[in-house]
A and B are shown apart, each in its own frame.
Chain A
């Protein structure tokens, strides 16, 4: 076990799996000699060369479509989006082709494509570089949608993704890339669809993803000093979603808050709330609450940007309010 950053953990996962599997190759902008805008491929070009680290022009639809074709022929492409906002140009390829191809070919064609990119609000990146797209991808059958919050999970989930025959959308919150955490030595895999109980508690269940896991953890630590016991659950994958762990927690606590940086309408929190209302109705001792990022384009202005994201104070207050219900 050693402490490494989230980004170093995914780099390790990619490097290990590329060494084992010659069919893995990476495509994206600036991922060759430059080593990736977020150091996602740092040092790999020197080892694996230009054939397996293909720099592309700014042409998202083109290289995502190429990945679909490459996967059909038996390779395992890794598409590095840098910012996942710009892959919206290629959503037709992802949803209409990559996600559906196994079904349309009756399973004869596998689509082991890993589509990775940064999400999230912060650093005044403004509205073209701040989106959270997991609710959208989670809506469609045929995709696995991974949203890690810790270095260990990032490594374990990426290694699982690089061994998965289904297309995987791997979304990395850019505000947590440099956060270090303990990562097991050697082979480390994390199964899709298994939530992590980040901290155990008895009075309220909070479900959060990515950056929000860290903020809720801070809020929970603060509340623990007052004797308020929060159970924090990180589902880690949005699709498949581990309802069982959430339901078991709500069975214990009777209260559920979903803290989500993404927009509320038709979102991740709505899905979690619906499942718990349906299957855990008799466990609820209060209404289910959501705390989301504001339903607005992300501002560039730092104070405005800060104002639209759930922060520790808002999360603390939301938990207190829920306990008073």
Chain B
């Protein structure tokens, strides 16, 4: 019997998406894992892989590029080899209609092996322990492709941790997606804008945001960056940017002050073991914050390579939704626009966000002499529900010290 092809949920809060285009044609043979259509979620587009095999049936009544569709809606069907489409399910869209249409008992051919319906999440059949599921959420690991080492292939915590390690050690070159760049429709852009609008409004209304600012002597930081630049021989070599160095130093400071690396979760404060830093990126369509995972476990060079790749893919909208989720802290740099200090809005449910201002050459008094020094302004916004002023100030102070003398913290 026909297996419905269903619109998956790309983010926790996603209720609707925009159907961008089919990647397969009516009558194509689909294998499990084949990209089958492109879906625009809240912030990014994603190739949707098939969780079942069969021959694709695209109905003339199905969605067209730019159509808004509900999560759970059926966009097409997969037929068994030789199965004839009899048109029963009719128009697609409402998931309830599709489910009802799937039932007719008379259609079941006893001689054919019963094809299991995927009914939404393709991974629902894979066994995973509750703990492994929890850890996967914490580390941002997609466990649908993880091999389980437990009884009968059950995924256990160790498998998730191994997968998380692996994803860190994969060279970034390999992760360039092969999917073609997707042209954005006006609807899609406004979809992303609407998501940002909702999130920012919620942030402003539902958090107790306080911003602390401080001036830091960044002379050594600037000098360090110059050393990297001067030492780079090959023009293709990735030189750590100031943001990269700041992200790495921030991760060190977060390890020293784990309470800042936390989130508000329904009357509870959850402190994360891992430091996943979102880097705010200005893209032509929207503000995105791709997440650099397990920053404390990355070298500065890995931070640079990885963040460049993430930022590039965010700008060209080739980024997966999963790469925009699971951050525990965010860094936003407006220095290149000549901004000194600002009041960044929190990225809920994260407890804090760091705003980085421009670096200016200023006269400073050192040992009764006026000397030129590079100065940078940091703006730390924190959620006062989660963190008090003094701990936030201590975090900012630790970070300032790391910036004043960055080298020791980077050589680990």
Q: Are A282 and B134 in contact (CB under 8 A)?
A: yes
- A283: chain B residues at CB < 8 Å are 130-131, 134
| Residues of B close to A282: CB separation below 8 A | 130-131, 133-134
Instruction: State the Cβ distance, A164 to closest chain B Cβ, in Å.
Output: 35
Q: Is the C-beta of A324 less than 8 angstroms from some C-beta in chain B? A: yes
B222 on the A face (CB < 8 A): no
User: Quick one: closest B residue to A286, CB to CB?
Assistant: B129
The 0/1 profile, CB within 8 Å of B marked 1, for residues 285-325 of chain A is 11000000000000000000000000000000000000011
Contact of A325 among B130, B134, B151 (CB under 8 A): B151
A276 to chain B, nearest CB (A): 11
* Most chain B beta carbons < 10 A, residue from A254, A281, A284, A325: A254
Beta-carbon contact of A284 and B151 below 8 Å: no
CB atoms of B151 and A285 under 8 A apart: no
Flag whether B132 is at the interface (Cβ < 8 A).
yes
Q: How far is the CA of A286 from the CA of B133 in the complex (A)?
A: 12
Known contacts A324-B151, A325-B151; A285 and B157 CB within 8 A of each other: yes
Which residue of chain A lies nearest to B128 when distances are taken between CB atoms in the complex?
Answer: A285
B154 contacts A284, CB within 8 Å? no
| Contact indicator B151/A254 (Cβ below 8 Å) | no
Interface membership of B372, Cβ < 8 A: no
Are A325 and B154 neighbours in the complex by a CB distance under 8 Å? yes
Q: Using Cβ atoms and an 8 Å threshold, which residues of chain A touch B134?
A: 282-283
Q: Point out the residues of chain A lying under 8 angstroms from B157, CB to CB.
A: 254, 285
* Residues in A neighbouring B130, C-beta threshold 8 A: 281-285
Tell whether B156 is near chain A: CB-to-CB under 8 Å: yes
Which of B129, B132, B150, B156 is most buried by chain A, counting CB atoms within 10 A of its CB?
Answer: B129
Residues of A with C-beta under 8 A to B150: 286, 324-325
CB-defined contacts of B129 to chain A, threshold 8 Å: 254, 284-286
A286 to B131, CA, bound (A): 8
A-B contacts besides A283-B131, A285-B131, A324-B151, 5 pairs, CB < 8 Å? A254-B131, A283-B130, A284-B131, A324-B150, A325-B151
Residues from chain A with Cβ under 8 Å of B132 in the complex: 285
Instruction: Give 3 nearest A-B pairs by CB, closest first.
Output: A285-B131, A282-B134, A285-B129
What is the distance, in angstroms, from B152's C-beta to the closest C-beta of chain A? Answer: 9
Q: Quick one: closest A residue to B137, CB to CB?
A: A282
With the chains together, A115 CA to B150 CA distance in Å?
A: 46
CB neighbors of B among A210-268 (8 A): 254
Residue of B nearest to A285 (CB): B131
How far apart are the CA atoms of A325 and B156 in the complex, in Å?
Answer: 9
User: Hey, which chain A residues are within 8 Å of B151, CB to CB?
Assistant: 324-325
**Within the assembled complex, what's the spacing in Å between the Cα atoms of A282 and B138?**
12
A324 to chain B, nearest CB (A): 7
